[in-house]
Chain A
Amino acid sequence: MKAFLILEDGTVFEGTHIGAVREIISEIVFNTSMAGYLEVLTDPSYAGQAVCMTYPLIGNYGICRDDMESERPWPDGFIVRELSRIPSNFRSDITIQQFLEENGVPGIAGIDTRALTRILREKGTMNGMITTDENYDLDAVLPRLRAYTTGKVVEKVTCREKYRIEPVASLEQNGPLSGAARFDREAYERGERESRPALVKELNGKGLKVALLDLGAKKNIARSLAERGCEVTVYPALTKAEEILADGPDGIMLSNGPGDPKECTSVIEEIRKLYETDIPIFAICLGHQLMALAAGADTHKMKYGHRGGNHPVKDLATGRVYISSQNHGYVVDTDRLDPAVAVPAFVNVNDGTNEGLSYTGKNIFTVQFHPESCPGPQDSRYLFDRFIHMMRRETSSCAEGRD
């Protein structure tokens, strides 16, 4: 079946329909990761957007449900050059086509995704429609596209009720320490999924209670803490600060999430209260932006954002550069940042935008990129250890993350 991608500027791409049969209007963004399409699809930060993968061959290894970063895919639509006709991976459960259909995500394949990317790069992120209606009326469609906003998507993606994630009891639970795992087909068929080689070498978070404010959290944030021994309680985005504080956490984690940070007015209110406490706080992505807004800084929308797994960020404390996983369309404005409130801790080597803040006189540090990776490089996972050090009130900064 034919499908069309119509952009706000009137550009129309004709391709083949994939996924569920549904017409959608969404904000069109592109992601440059070469692997990890499932993690991208299940990242709640993509709520309200349709994602174009710049890598042309998608679906090659099917869908390995274990790798989902939330319970369902969030993008409104999925745009690819080519969808693999068969999946090939020992863990693959279903094909990507089945997955998109199952979850009602429509998409388009067979278009020139590079041309689309170039348009978005030159003109900035814009809205678009994916439709199978060959008789679309451009004059009627374009005003609808321009009118679209992602809206208050955080409320859509956050969990409904708070829940607890048990910490791992022993290192073995995290999987083997090296790549020497063996695949056990029978155990796999029984549903016992083999663990990947562990990246964590010690349970340094044992006994620590972490409150994770779910603004659209990827699973690996909680997992990264739990596998270090932390006991994680996940709170819905609109939880009052008092409720979180009442549970007596050793540290608070603000997650990633979708949408315009400035629309999260009530969440910002609550974060301001958390800011006032002396509980260590670590925030990622949207959490980082909301903390900045709560502390009086400003954010703005980028032309086309950072979405991919190859962005270099420099840790200003050490001068070291790490390759990071990124997914954001807004950024904290450092021009008007009061150094008495916070100073830049990380900077993007490519375009000099802010990638992290260290809050002056506070036990708070926040990053724009994704140390939890999934998808993408695991280089900055050491930041979770740094957070654990903060919670333990240890002076050592755990600057170097490399094993």
Chain B
Amino acid sequence: MLNIKCPHCGDRSQKEFAYGGDGTVKRPELNKDVSDKDWDNFVYLRKSPRGKHIELWHHIAGCRQWFRVLRDTVTHEIYKTSKIDEDI
């Protein structure tokens, strides 16, 4: 079981959280021309690295805040978590 440190609530069991995928993906800017390639990158294409991965988690059974987690996809070690408006 993962033990995830919510930046707002502290250490909690994995069961309180929902996964939100790659935390580095950025939505194309609003009200600007967006090429098909940009949409493709945003919606479908993922690096899915082996090793360190920045990802989004949602403390859905807690404070309900989204935040970022730096986790190793092989060992599941969590190096760092950060609030959504902070750099990780």
Asked if chains A and B come from one complex, the reply is no
